[in-house]
Amino acid sequence: MQQLKEGVEQVRLANITFEFYMSNEWVFDNANAQRLDEFLRHNNEPSEAASFNVNVKTIDWKPLAMNHAYGVKHYVLKEEASLPSLGFNDSLVRI
């Protein structure tokens, strides 16, 4: 019963923390990032465009999602969290 109460409390706290994001509609548009990337590639040195790397198509989503999940667990839910190490599915990195 105690574990159930703790779980309900965690959900309640997460709901309070993320209420603003969950109760609003969001539209994500990367048109400005695409224009900036095109400008950098066509009007500057290629190395400069590579150093800024504003091309959203190059995002590696798996580590981004893993880092997001880690952050929610560690900083919002205040739980001990670990991330799978990148490239090694069978090992964990304790953070």
Tell me the whole-structure pTM to 2 decimals.
Answer: 0.54
The pLDDT tens digits of the residues spanning 12-34 come to: 988 888 888 888 888 888 899 88
For residue 12, which amino acid is it? R
Domain interval for residue 81: 60-95
14 within domain boundaries:
no
85 within domain boundaries:
yes
90 within domain boundaries:
yes
Question: Cα separation of 87 and 43, whole Å?
Answer: 36
81 within domain boundaries:
yes
What pLDDT does residue 90 have? 43
Question: Cα separation of 71 and 75, whole Å?
Answer: 5
76 within domain boundaries:
yes
Three-class secondary structure of residue 13 per DSSP: helix
89 within domain boundaries:
yes
Number of folded domains in the chain? 1
What pLDDT does residue 91 have? 44
9 within domain boundaries:
no
35 within domain boundaries:
no
What pLDDT does residue 51 have? 81
75: left (phi over 0), alpha (psi -120 to 50) or beta: alpha
The pLDDT tens digits of the residues spanning 43-91 come to: 877 777 778 888 888 888 888 888 888 888 888 878 888 776 655 454 4
